[in-house]
Structure 1
Amino acid sequence: MNIKRFFASSSREALAMVRKSLGEDAVILSNRAVNGGNEILAFKEEDMASFMSDDTPVQSSKRRAAPAMEPLQAAQARPAARQARPPVRQQAAPEAEPYRAVRTEPAPTTTARPKVTTTPAQAAAPQSNKQINDMLNEIRNMRSVIESQLVEISWGNIQHRDPVKSNTLNMLLSAGFSAALSRQIAENMPDHRTSAEANTWVQSILEKNLQAIPNEDEILNRGGVFALIGPTGVGKTTTTAKLAARFVMKHGPGKLGLITTDAYRIGGHEQLRIYGKILGVMVHAVKDEADLKIALEELKGKHTILIDTVGVSQKDRMVAEQIAMLSSTRQPIKKLLCLNATNTGETLTDVVRAYKVKQLDGCIITKLDEAATIGSALDVIIREKLRLYYVANGQRVPEDLHVANKKLLIHRAFRAGAQNTSSFQFKHNELPFLMGNTSPVATKLSMGADHV
């Protein structure tokens, strides 16, 4: 394999030298910065093909063929020798048969020789495959590095060519949206838009991809069994009390059932019992799956049943047990995940994936009044394709619970981002580097008629 070294003052010049010398299909082994410039090691694709086809077992088969030819050549040479010396052949005729018998005895040894010679070849084959796999992994890593550099260069050019896209990207990041989602939206934004047009377009795209209930008829009027789940301290009990109060105000206490599974904390169910006493609704405390089935059977005549679950960490194995308990009943239970708006996007993503073992029916954003930015919560809801029911922005029951309004939430996210002047904001010269090291988001957004 003919590996060549190229050196230039920059990566772009070195790549141009590789393309000129080895062609468009050259294979790059390494690309690194050295003193005074950039060094690239590369070779032609044809050399890679010849290296791949150069298999060691083929050579061993040739070596096996050589010993097999030796008896054949000896057999062809013996008749010629006997014809050259007839007297000797006639005198040695009685001994000819033993002589051939002696020559045939080493045959097993001859057939055994290939087994000895193939052992190194068989040992070398895995080593050769390992080298090829290591080389392919190195090529993939280099491809990722080059793609990252190209994206970084591309975004550097976009900042000069279309600064509105750069400002839109910065606006999304400041609002708390992830770099992956922000990149996807900014890259798909139509060119040559004014700042006002770009902001309107971005907000419309986010509204289109944020799923929310139009009104609360699904809970208050249609009824059913709803379980509020989520980590510790996210506000499940308070939100359950708010929902219960809204239902009692519309339908009365006789059609509502309350269940709590919080039997682990000392006095954990007492808070909901106090709310139930105020509303005139009995609270049933359950400890396991059998108790839950009994409680649901007793409350089967109720229009709506609300279940307040115990809060556990998303990394606790009790999450799977809790989801299994809620999924094992004959009566379907709709699971609503409570998301803390003050958490980071990484934490919220971890929570959703932990509780998404079985299908989630929706989510509720809590502690909205405590969050500096809410873009991370909206980002996770969009990427995970959750359905947003309510938002809670305080401790008052039931005043601080509202049906999710997509337009207001997105407007609030950008308003909070515009007011954010903390050190967590990115500068314009940092955006190309950030985009170059951001993987595309797995969820493809609906971009409307401009980008179908």
Structure 2
Amino acid sequence: MNVKRFTARSTREAMALVRQAFGEDAVVLSNKPCPDGIEVLAMAPEGMKQIERVAATAPRVNAPSRVAARPAAPAAAPLNARAARDFERRDPRLAEFGATGTPVEADVQTLAMSTLSFQDYVRERMLKRRQAELNGQPDPLESELAARAAAAPLPEGVPSLQEARQLRAQAAMQAMGARRVDMSRAEAPAEPARRVPPVLRDEIRVSAEARLPTLAELQPGRDQQDMMKELRSMKGLIEERFGALAFMEKLQRQPVQARLTQKLLEVGFSPALVRKLVEGCPAHFDDSKQGPHDELSWAANVLARNLLTDEMSPALEEQGGVFALIGSTGVGKTTTTAKIAAAFATRHGASQLGLITLDAYRVGAHEQLRAYGRILGVPVHTAHDRTSLEDLLELLSGKKMVLIDTAGMAQRDSRTTELLDMLAHPSIRRLLVINSAQQGETIEDVVTAWRAASCHGVVLSKIDEAVKMAPALDTMIRHKLRVIGVANGQRVPEDWHRLSAQALVQRALRSGAAPAWRMDSADVNLIFAGGPALATGTPAAMGLN
């Protein structure tokens, strides 16, 4: 049998070489890719006939289940010879039996199987060995070899049947004993462990550390997290209650702090600021230096020191520059713009003043500022977008003061951010106009929405309408905002003022609440018993000096 290997760049060229060597009836054994292209193994048709003749003369036995018998491959002979020599080496008396007996023929038949059938045969035998290992039974392969050796026919030259069977049994037992001794010697230092059965397929082995926890294992963790959350909540509640009780006890033991707390809450200051003030209030005052209401005077001085005003700087109309008045709807931005413009025109003349309006949302909104401009003799320009605003600022760059009146929007309106972005010009300084008659929570919301921290200052409008100015001043103190001026009416420019911090605080402390809104000591205890702890106050409120 003549088998040749052909190599070519493609399959077509390799087959052409095969036909050229063996003709059209050539037998192709295999083809596979190689570095040079395609490699093909082929032989002449006569070789196939020779294989068929050898297969016809080979002995046949029944193969195991699901295993098909095929002619023996030429490569089986060396393996059979080695098996025979192993038999002769074990016992010279079994040499003849080992050369021609049934086990050798069975091996020949097994090796003659196809590759796929042989794999099935090996898999079945390994599964049997694995099942026997798991069940604690002896190895079926060794038992089968021993049984086959015992059941084989006696060869010629053996004196007696009983003696041959005993020799075969002894040889099988010696082989099994030698194998067990070798295994015991290999595992002698350590405790004998169960042999791991062979794995016939690829398996994914996950270590105990990398294994995902089950739902039952995760449940205790969730319970612990819920318990910790409840404990933290309980701890916060206990701290809050004890803090309130300690504060109430302090008020009961110190009447000065109790009177101050009641007064500050009545005029409208926030509990966070009141608590901070009361903590720093002295328990006793020098009667020779203080009046009948010592604690109130002390609180007024502390509030005045922490309230920032523009009283020590030049007036706004003296400074000059570009100012944009922003704020919520109806706080008086247009009127305040006219007051500042009139005060500036009185001192420096209308020729140095420029007026711009951005209020294009309300019907006739710009007409109000135009009316004030006609009175002052100053033209009013309208800007509809950022580009036109920048063009107007460049046109009025020679003016000493330029005032920009903006559209009033609610602090939660989405257009508020667009207006602030439109005024993000480096030369524009923003003035936030706040209605001092609003509630403290509303003022807090306005300050946050209009980004008061980045503004040049704050204008408090409608102080003549405010029953309580304390909420507005409380917000100014906690956020450290500067009060540029106040407006207390509709007259232009008479109702534009600059007040000192002391004057604003005294005005806030003098405001009296209606009888329905006054509180006694029991109300104070009730408020602080259910109110938040001191730690919940804003950081700015904790910075009093």
Tell me which interval the TM-score lies in, with the shorter structure as reference length.
0.7 to 0.9
Q: How does 1:207-286 map to 2 (within 5 A)?
A: 207-214=304-311, 217-286=314-383
1:90 aligned residue: 174
Bigger RCO of structures 1 and 2 (CA < 8 A, at least 6 apart): 1
Q: Letter of the aligned partner of 1:314 in structure 2?
A: Q
**How many pairs are equivalent?**
359
Partners of 1:91 and 1:215 in 2: CA distance: 111
Q: Which residue of structure 2 aligns with residue 104 of structure 1?
A: 196
User: Is the 8 Å Cα contact of residues 216 and 403 (structure 1) preserved in structure 2?
Assistant: no
In structure 2, what is the Cα distance between the partners aligned to 1:129 and 1:187?
A: 43
| SS of the residue 2:486 aligns to | strand
Q: Which runs of 5+ in 1 are unaligned?
A: 1-70, 75-85
Match of 1:385 among 480, 483, 486: 480
Give the counterpart of 1:178 among 262, 270, 273: 270
Deviation at 1:138, TM superposition (A): 1.2
**Equivalents in 2 of 1:131, 1:414: separation in Å?**
53
2:279 matches 1:187 = yes
3-state SS of paired residue (1:365): strand
* 1:343-394 deviation per Cα after TM superposition (whole angstroms, max 9, x unaligned): 1111101001001177111100011111111100000111111110111111
1:288 counterpart = 2:372: no
- Residue in structure 2 matched with residue 438 of structure 1 by the alignment: 532
> CA separation in 1, counterparts of 2:316 and 2:269?
30
Q: What are the superposed Cα offsets for residues 259-317 of structure 1, whole Å, 9 maximum, x if unpaired?
A: 11001111010000000100011111111101100110110000011111000110011
Letter in 2 for 1:253: A
The structure with more radius of gyration: 2
Partner of 2:441 in structure 1? 346
1:396 aligns with 2:491: yes
TM-score (norm 1): 0.73
Identical-pair percentage? 37
**Which amino acid is 1:289 matched to?**
R
Structure 1 partner of 2:23: none
Q: Aligned partner of 2:445: which letter?
A: D
Alignment of structure 1 residues 311-326 onto 2, 5 Å: 311-326=408-423
Q: Which residue of 2 aligns with 1:422?
A: 515
- C-alpha distance in 1 between matches for 2:332 and 2:364: 16
CA-CA distance at 1:111 after TM superposition:
8.7
Looking at structure 2, the residues matched to 336 and 103 of structure 1 have their Cα atoms a distance apart, in angstroms, of: 86
> 1:302 & 1:405 partners in 2: Cα distance?
30
Kindly state the Cα deviation for residue 99 of structure 1 after the two structures are TM-superposed. 10
The correspondence for 1:131, drawn from 212, 218, 223, is 223
Moved more, 210-219 or 261-270: 210-219
Q: 1:188 to 1:116 in 2, by over 3 A?
A: closer
Q: Does 1:152 align with 2:235?
A: no
**1:410 aligned to 502, 505, 530, which one?**
505
Give the one of 461, 475, 485 matched to 1:366: 461
Following TM superposition, by how much is the alpha carbon of 1:118 offset from its aligned partner in structure 2, in angstroms? Answer: 4.5
Whether the 8 Å contact between 1:152 and 1:433 is mirrored in structure 2 is no
Please identify, of 89-98 and 199-208, the stretch whose mean Cα deviation from structure 2 is larger.
Answer: 89-98
Contact 1:210 1:381 (8 Å CA) reproduced: yes
Give the conservation status (yes or no) of the 8 Å contact 1:162–1:192. no
- Which residue type is aligned with residue 401 of structure 1? W
Give the aligned partner of residue 56 of structure 1.
none
**Structure-2 change in CA distance of 1:357 and 1:375 (3 Å):** closer
Task: Supply the distance in 2 between the matched residues of 1:257 and 1:190 (Cα, whole angstroms).
Answer: 53
For the residues of structure 1 that align with 2:197 and 2:452, how far apart are their CA atoms? 70
1:141-171 residue CA offsets vs partner (Å, 9 max, x unmatched): 1122112221222133223211110110111
State the distance in 2 between where 1:242 and 1:117 align: 75
Unaligned runs of 5+ in 2: 1-132, 137-169, 185-193
Deviations 1:9-50 (A, max 9, x none): xxxxxxxxxxxxxxxxxxxxxxxxxxxxxxxxxxxxxxxxxx
Identify which of 166, 189, 197 aligns with 2:294: 197
What's the CA shift for 1:412?
A: 1.1
* Matches of 2:206 and 2:237, distance apart in 1: 49
Inter-partner Cα distance in structure 2 for 1:126 and 1:378: 53
Shift of 1:197: 2.1
Name the Cα RMSD after superposition.
3.1
- Cross-structure match for 1:65: none
The Cα shift of 1:216 comes to 6.4
| Code of the aligned partner of 2:436 | A
Q: Measure the CA separation in 2 of the matches of 1:129 and 1:218.
A: 65
More moved, 110-119 vs 422-431: 110-119
* Paired position in structure 1 for 2:21: none
User: SS where residue 319 of structure 2 aligns?
Assistant: coil
Q: CA deviation at 1:87?
A: 11
- For the residue of structure 1 that corresponds to 2:356, the secondary structure is strand
Q: Decide whether the 8 Å contact of 1:289 with 1:325 is kept in 2.
A: yes
CA distance in 1, matches of 2:484, 2:219: 58
